[in-house]
Amino acid sequence: MSLKQNPTNAERETPIEASFAPLPRPGRRWGAAIIDLLLFIVLFLGSFYGAVQPILKATVDLSEHQQAYYLDIHNSHLYAISAYVDKDGKEITVEDEPYAPTYPNGAVGFKGYTTKAKYDKSEAIYRFYTEYKLGRVSETEDDIKILYSKTGKEVSEKLINFRLDENAIIEKQLDEFGLAVEGEENNENTIDPIYITVEKFKDDPLTWFNERVLQVGQPIKDGEPLFVWALEDDEDIDGLAENEEVPSEITSEVTSEETPVVKQHFLPQGVKIAEGKEETVDAYFENLYSAVISKDFQMEADYQIVNQYVFIGTIIALSFSSLIVYLLFPLVFKHGATLGKKMLGLGVVNTYGYKAKWWQHIARYFGLYLFTLLLDFIIISYGILSMPIITFISFTMGMFGKKNRALHDFIAGTRPVNLKEAKIYNSYEDELLDNPLPEKEPEERPSENTEWVNFEDRIVAPPSAPSEVKVSDESADE
């Protein structure tokens, strides 16, 4: 009688790899991922600009705050504007004018902006405080109405009061700039009041800038000032020798046919770099410029409102598009296939090649959404990194890792499969029904008449002494 070889209980506890669920070929895997990504991008952009943004603009005055923020970008002098446009969308040239609630020369907006060049940042900081900040704290209600005005829409009192309250906060911050607050009297970054002659920013913005921002003549961390007042007896107010030509107030570069370009940082009249501090100034203005943008300009209320609702809108659009591409399709199509996988004959199975459970497809989606898409978006939004590093790592794992398992596959206990060459079973037992293991002959068993010997009970005698060899007489005679 032959015996059939069945898996033991121990074997069932350690699942066996399916025999009919091959991995997809690299080309199909890449192709499916690209198709899904393109579909995701189309749905994301369509939902964000076609639905989410219009709803936000209609419910929270988002367009008015955006208009004010973009005009503030223009007035702040912190950015280099790529091109201004008129109401017909044509590029125009504008003149550099003082702070105003409208764009100059008939412009209605601009196409793009970038950070300033290295030697333009010092001037940008100066104009940000002495022109833009002064303009903000001097705004009237009429200025604010022009600032927020939209065709066919009256500016509400709520918006006007919002801007006035924000400007009052800005003025208070400027008056207290650099001074010690309660509980931080020993902070090394605070300014000693003995160096301050202007207490109110609006009284003298230029002197305020020299004393509060540049801290002219004041010891810094190493106990020496970075900037000092220019001496009129041996230098003019721009810090040049008497026989040198005095440049304009904004000193950025000097050119000639014979000498190379000499670039300088802008300094207000009457201020010069302290002796021996020339190499320190580059890093100082670079750090100060970054701090002014991130800790001052981008903290203003219009920017915060725009940033907050754009963040919320992006999350909504991200959730919608990912739900369609990476959850709805896998729940509708057989074997958890996305549209890209469906087109290229791929699917999703559990780690061992058997049919994945419904909850594994849901877990796979949330692993992708929470730990890849959303996490990367937050990392980029907060400036931690500038690229989607988690998505890149997960994508690389899915393409080149063992069993082509991405990060969300490890979370859900799944892997991709080539459906064109596979036959998916629910379990190992179902696979055995169609593909039984080969039978083998039973091992020979001992007969019932076999005599068993207990070797432990046997007494083994020591080897006997060799017997004497008898030699015959005939052999002896020989």
In a domain, 209, yes or no: yes
User: Angle at which helices 26-47 and 301-323 pack, to 10 degrees?
Assistant: 130
- pLDDT at residue number 242: 35
Rounded CA gap, 376 and 372, in Å? 6
In a domain, 148, yes or no: yes
- pLDDT at residue number 278: 83
> Which backbone phi and psi does 271 adopt, to 5 degrees?
-125, 140
The answer on pLDDT for 475 being more than 70 is no
How confident is the model over 92-96, as a mean pLDDT?
Answer: 85
Confidence of residue 431 (pLDDT cuts 50, 70, 90): confident
The residue segments making up the domain with residue 143 are 61-299
37 and 98 in a common domain? no
- pLDDT at residue number 432: 84
Choice between 84 and 383, residue whose per-residue pLDDT is larger: 84
- pLDDT at residue number 15: 59
423 strand-pairing partners = none
Q: Which residue has the tokens 């060799």?
A: 466
| Tens digit of each residue's pLDDT (9 = 90 or more) over 201-221 | 999 999 999 999 999 988 876
In a domain, 240, yes or no: yes
How confident is the model over 224-229, as a mean pLDDT?
Answer: 89
Q: Compute and round to an integer the Cα radius of gyration of the chain.
A: 40
415: closest CA among 471, 370, 360, 470? 360
- pLDDT at residue number 256: 47
Tokens of 119: 């030697």
Domain boundary among 299, 329, 354: 299
- pLDDT at residue number 389: 92
Tokens of 239: 């810090």
Domain boundary among 415, 434, 453: 434
Confidence of residue 8 (pLDDT cuts 50, 70, 90): very low
- pLDDT at residue number 11: 46
In a domain, 477, yes or no: no
- pLDDT at residue number 428: 83
- pLDDT at residue number 244: 38
Q: What's the distance, CA 120 to chain centroid?
A: 28
87 and 27 in a common domain? no
* Strand pairing category for 113-115 and 253-254: unpaired
Choice between 240 and 175, residue whose per-residue pLDDT is larger: 175
pTM for this model (two decimals): 0.71
| Tens digit of each residue's pLDDT (9 = 90 or more) over 292-320 | 999 999 999 999 999 999 999 999 999 99
* Residue 281 near residue 272 (C-beta atoms within 8 A): no
Confidence of residue 189 (pLDDT cuts 50, 70, 90): low
In a domain, 132, yes or no: yes
Could you tell me the CA-to-CA distances from 152 to 100, 148, 155, 315, 334 in Å, in that order?
Answer: 22, 12, 10, 31, 52
Tokens of 402: 């063992």
Q: What's the distance, CA 477 to chain centroid?
A: 114
Q: What's the domain count of the chain?
A: 2
In a domain, 478, yes or no: no
> Which backbone phi and psi does 213 adopt, to 5 degrees?
-95, -55
In a domain, 464, yes or no: no
- pLDDT at residue number 438: 73
Q: What's the distance, CA 342 to chain centroid?
A: 31
- pLDDT at residue number 383: 79
- pLDDT at residue number 397: 92
Rounded CA gap, 171 and 387, in Å? 37
288 and 175 in a common domain? yes
* Residue 211 near residue 205 (C-beta atoms within 8 A): no
In a domain, 56, yes or no: no
398 and 281 in a common domain? no
360 and 273 in a common domain? no
The answer on pLDDT for 22 being more than 50 is yes
The answer on pLDDT for 266 being more than 80 is yes
Rounded CA gap, 52 and 477, in Å? 129
Rounded CA gap, 58 and 60, in Å? 6
Cβ-in-10-Å burial (0-12, 13-18, 19+) of 360 comes to buried
140 and 281 in a common domain? yes
176: closest CA among 198, 149, 145, 150? 198
Domain boundary among 270, 299, 328: 299
339 and 254 in a common domain? no
Q: Which residues of 434-460 are buried (b: 16+ CB within 10 A; e: fewer)?
A: eeeeeeeeeeeeeeeeeeeeeeeeeee
Percentage of the chain beyond pLDDT 90 is 51
399 and 366 in a common domain? yes
Tokens of 433: 């029904």
| Tens digit of each residue's pLDDT (9 = 90 or more) over 69-80 | 999 999 999 999
The answer on pLDDT for 4 being more than 50 is no
The answer on pLDDT for 101 being more than 60 is yes
Tokens of 442: 């039973």
Rounded CA gap, 449 and 438, in Å? 32
240 and 283 in a common domain? yes
Choice between 473 and 308, residue whose per-residue pLDDT is larger: 308
- pLDDT at residue number 350: 93
**Per-residue DSSP letter, 311:** H
368 and 280 in a common domain? no
283 and 331 in a common domain? no
How confident is the model over 109-132, as a mean pLDDT?
Answer: 94
Mean per-residue pLDDT of the chain? 82
- pLDDT at residue number 169: 95
Confidence of residue 173 (pLDDT cuts 50, 70, 90): very high
181 and 151 in a common domain? yes
Tokens of 174: 């400027």
How confident is the model over 248-269, as a mean pLDDT?
Answer: 62
Amino acid at 215: Q
